[in-house]
Amino acid sequence: MTQPYAILQIDPWLERYQGDIELRMERYQATRRDLLRGKKLSDFANGHLHYGFHRTPTGWVYREWAPGADALYLMGDFNGWNPLSHPMDRQADGSFELHLPGADALRHEQRVKVRVMANHAARDRIPLYIRRVVCDEKTNDFTGQIWDPPQPFPWTDARFSPRRNLPPLIYEAHVGMAQEREGIGTYREFAECMLPRIKADGYNTVQLMAVMEHPYYGSFGYQVSNFFAASSRFGTPEDLKYLVNTAHSMGLSVFLDLVHSHAVKNTAEGINLFDGTEDQFFRGDHPAWDSKLFDYGKHEVLHFLLSNVKFWLTEYHFDGFRFDGVTSMMYHDHGLGVAFDHYDRYFSMNTHTEAVTYLQLANELAHSVKRNAITVSEDMSGMPGMCLKISDGGLGFDYRLAMGVPDFWIKLTQDTPDEHWDIAKMWHELTTRRPQEKNIGYAESHDQALVGDKTLMFRLADKEMYWHMDRSGENMIIERAIALHKMIRLVTLSLAGEGYLNFMGNEFGHPEWVDFPREGNNWSYHHARRQWSLAGNELLRYVFLGDFDKAMLALAKKYRLLEAPFARNLWQEEPRKLLAYEKAGLVFLFNFHPTESQPDFFLPVQPGTYRVVLDTDASAFGGQGRISHDVVYEAHEGGFPIYIPARTALVLKKKG
């Protein structure tokens, strides 16, 4: 009798679902065998090295997978866009191939398309594995571009390892809107201007959105058209490599926001209907996203997607991925409107088992291609085993995003007056997670910053931010917003996960929202940028929030806060809105009450002497400076009395 998978011991509630876990693993192992047939997974995932455009000893070869097509013809600058002069030869496996003799048969930066004949119609398409796609400014036509620079990029990051940056302190960023001017930023600008800022703030990992090519800028990068092309809006492939290499030289890891949950419907720009058939890559449409759904049960689709995983790790040296839309992938109803309140929700006919298998294979591949790669799952369902090893019956991710936490803060700040905040529920929401599965905690991400929603700071302060963020005046709404912004971030960082994430600009309370150019805003870039000048203006209060964020991250790193075991609850009291806990040898005390300070709250701690090492009320962080860091507290008979003002949090360290 085989030994049951470790997941069943880690989570005893799964015992009645042992058959489902075993089925999960049987599907993974069977699919793996069928795909590899004795090969290594990393050798299987080499579609990008076979398909597309490649130099040969005698010239060039171009290959394409289009089983439903009748004929393919290559055209472009090299042949005066003649649509029929270069027919491709059909292969037995449904591929097409064309050999072009001569080293100069194709040249760097030449533009190309492929004419696909299928179903008695001709369509001019962008090659599936193209490395670069450019848009004509006059016609808005997207075209593939040969990318073959005379010299390879001079990487200097051979000794860099993302394992140095564990636990991850993630700075989620969008290259195009990372500058203050109204326009689209570049990879080079990001490397030169943003990376030093991120490093100085104390983050160790950059998570880049919208890198995979997408035709509509306003999609935030989540409607991908060309999976092997880095978005040309921000610069060249060499520019993106420069960004990653520069980050590594500064000791920063770089994650890619990987979108394998769906694809854009577009046929002129994307891969939809490439060979003239509906089911070459896809199995239908997403009911909420107006996009195409991958057929994860098809081996050729797995080959395409797994090759894409390997490509971004090897070609651009990314250190890992945030897998987008994992919940949508794992359930046939995409988790829409579903409350995952029972284990039956995870194991039923609604579970898309082929997608689960793909995620296991993708994680295995990522960790085998780059041993220290980090993978993060965007899953709101809480699928058991998401962040357990595959050999233990899990899916193999390193972390999952704690998506319920920002939802909790939105609901709390939007619907509940301060005096009615539920401290017990706060503790539950921030500390409840699956055993031995690591989370990335965060108070807000790009999701909360988009137009139609509000950032945490804007939700707390609203229109008062326009008039009262100057340091010379007083405003009760702004005072409340600044106090709670700091407290919410500190309690989230210290309780909600084994990693932490922030969306760019939110660390200093960036005002307003994110809105990309569109017809509804007269194609304006006004909200598709970040106002960094606010963060550095000593006359404004944004400086306080930015400085507190730095101090908070420095504390977390100094005391290894995120590596520590779960926090131990010391005190939890609803009427006075108090919460105290111990973690990593630090004692955290929060008073969320809007008006009632506690002059002599008895803090129950172990015997010893304690001193405050961080507090949200410090004048340097926009507070009233009521907490002394020089006072030594002596704990006798179970604790000591301490002053904790309203809407204040402090952190104490035991001496010795």
Residue 87 contacts residue 71 (beta carbons within 8 Å): yes
Lay out the sheet containing 59-65: strands in order across. 52-56, 59-65, 95-101, 89-90
CB 450 within 8 A of CB 513: yes
Burial of 458 (0-12, 13-18, 19+ CB in 10 A): buried
How far apart, in whole angstroms, are the C-alpha atoms of residue 397 and residue 386?
6
Helix H or strand E segment including 30: helix 18-36
Name the one residue in this structure whose structure tokens are 């909360």: 448
First to last CA, the chain: 52
CB atoms within 10 A of CB 358: 24
User: How many other CB atoms sit within 10 Å of the CB of residue 471?
Assistant: 14
> Distance (Å, rounded) from C-alpha 276 to C-alpha 290?
20
Q: DSSP class of residue 191?
A: I
Tokens linked to 571: 């005190």
Residue 489, classified by CB atoms within 10 Å of its CB into exposed (0-12), middle (13-18) or buried (19+), is buried
CA distance 466 to 396: 46
CA 490/CA 549 separation, integer angstroms: 9
Q: How far apart are CA 282 and CA 305, in angstroms?
A: 12
DSSP string, 142-156: EEEE----SS-----
358, 360, 361, 365 alpha-carbon torsion, rounded to 10°? 140
Q: Which residues contact 641 (CB under 8 A, 6 or more apart)?
A: 600, 601, 602, 603
Residues recognised as catalytic? 324, 378
Contacts 24+ apart (CB under 8 A), 53-57: 53/106, 53/112, 53/127, 53/129, 53/130, 53/131, 53/146, 53/148, 55/103, 55/148, 56/99
3-state secondary structure of 398: coil
Angstrom distances, CA of residue 542 to CA of 113, 424, 492, 538: 49, 31, 20, 8
**Mind spelling out the 3-state secondary structure of 170-186?**
EEEEEHHHCCCCCCCCC
User: Angle, to 10 degrees, between the axis of helix 476-495 and the axis of helix 542-558?
Assistant: 20
Q: With the C-alpha atoms ordered 14, 16, 22, 25, is the resulting torsion angle positive or negative?
A: negative
Distance between alpha carbon 183 and the CA centroid of its chain, in Å? Answer: 23
Ordered alpha helix ranges (H), 103-249: 187-189, 195-201, 237-249
